[in-house]
């Protein structure tokens, strides 16, 4: 079976598939990145879609979360993998990893360290879902 992606999702999914050596589609688990909104998600309402977000949700949802954290002056931010819902960055959290915000950080250096945690967390979350560690969302 195939899955659809939007925008830069294809590149990220392809890179992760190379890194993990396996396809990122199995059964009803879809793993595209950057899908949001009720119109885009409605065809996938039966599926479990994972999203990586570069903050410790619920803090700093939306775009440029790393910059939001840096500008806000927090001392700790991080990465979150969550199930996607039609509400932006509000789905059930599967895994999180904290990242210290250093005094000499810029938004770019902070983003680079958060990205390292995203790359560590995403395969763990995929395994969690594929191994049955996540209860399927109810059918609508």
* DSSP per-residue string spanning 54-122: SSSTTSS-STTHHHHHHHHT-SEEEEEEEE--SSTT-SPEEEEEEEE--TT--HHHHHHHHHHHHHHHH
Q: What is the pTM of this model?
A: 0.69
- Can you give the pLDDT at residue 13? 47
Residues assigned a catalytic role? 53
Contact 113, 72 (CB under 8 A): no
Domains of the chain: which residue ranges?
A: 9-130
Q: What is the pLDDT of residues 32-84, one digit of tens each?
A: 444 444 545 666 666 678 899 999 999 999 999 999 999 999 999 999 999 88
Q: Per this entry, what is the length of the chain? A: 140
Half-sphere exposure of 79 (CA within 13 A, CB side): 19
* CATH number assigned to the domain with residue range 9-130, chosen from the 4 options 3.40.50.170, 3.40.50.620, 3.40.630.40, 1.10.3720.10: 3.40.50.170
């Amino acid at each position: 079976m195939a899955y659809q992606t939007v925008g830069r999702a294809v590149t990220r999914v392809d890179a992760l598939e190379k890194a993990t050596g396996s396809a990122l589609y199995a059964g009803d688990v879809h793993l595209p990145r950057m899908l949001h909104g009720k119109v885009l998600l409605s065809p996938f309402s039966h599926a479990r879609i994972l999203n990586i977000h570069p903050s410790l949700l619920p803090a700093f949802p939306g775009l440029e979360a790393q910059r939001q954290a840096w500008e806000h002056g927090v001392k700790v931010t991080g990465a979150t993998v969550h199930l996607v819902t039609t509400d932006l960055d509000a789905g059930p959290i599967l895994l999180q990893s904290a990242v210290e915000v250093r005094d000499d950080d810029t938004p770019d250096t902070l983003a680079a360290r958060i990205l390292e945690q995203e790359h560590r967390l995403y395969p763990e979350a995929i395994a969690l879902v594929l191994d049955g560690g996540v209860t399927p969302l109810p059918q609508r």
